[in-house]
Homo-oligomer: A and B are copies of this chain.
Amino acid sequence: MITRLNHVAIAVPDLKKAAAQYEALGAKTSAPQDLPEHGVTVVFVTLENTKIELLHPLGENSPIGKFLEKNPAGGIHHLCFEVENLETASKTITDLGARLLGNGTPAIGAHSKPVVFAHPKDFQGTLVEFEQS
């Protein structure tokens, strides 16, 4: 059901500096892209088998803003797993006793695909996004 790790999202206080670190280490990085509907500016770091998404707050109500207040040096914000069937995965997660964030209804994620998030306290202390592949 889970197939691939789509990306690791890392919130960073300085997008240029973080991107430069990955570039110096030979990884390909994208130009910064503003995603105003998600309150973030993102730089994609392409590795051979997956992506790192470097996130920086955009606008006043960014979901990353509070995270960076608590973690001023940055930190891993979430993991995103691809699933073959989001409805089945959502049911499995709640059947396991784990909560989904919000009302559990899939939202459209940053890749324009339906996503749900599991509650970190119910899933190894880790914010996990499940994305319809």
Partner-B contacts on A (CB < 8 A): 1-5, 8, 10-12, 18, 20-22, 24-27, 47-50, 52, 54, 71-76, 79, 81, 83, 89, 92-93, 95-96, 98, 120-121, 123-126
- The answer to whether A26 and B2 touch (CB under 8 A), given A121-B73, A125-B74, is yes
Selected A-B contacts with CB under 8 Å, 22 pairs: A1-B26, A1-B27, A2-B26, A2-B47, A3-B47, A5-B49, A5-B50, A5-B52, A10-B124, A11-B125, A18-B124, A20-B96, A21-B96, A24-B96, A25-B83, A47-B81, A73-B121, A73-B124, A74-B124, A75-B124, A75-B125, A76-B126
Task: Provide the bound-state CA to CA distance between A21 and B42, in Å.
Answer: 30
What copy number does this chain have within its complex? 2
Name A22's closest neighbour in chain B (CB-CB).
B2
Name A120's closest neighbour in chain B (CB-CB).
B73
Task: Provide the bound-state CA to CA distance between A38 and B129, in Å.
Answer: 30
Partner of A123 from the list B5, B21, B89 (CB cut-off 8 Å) is B21
Structural contact, A93 and B5, CB atoms closer than 8 A = no
* Chain B positions within 8 Å of A10 at CB level: 124-126
Name A6's closest neighbour in chain B (CB-CB).
B49
Structural contact, A76 and B74, CB atoms closer than 8 A = no
- The answer to whether A21 and B120 touch (CB under 8 A), given A8-B79, A49-B49, A125-B71, is no
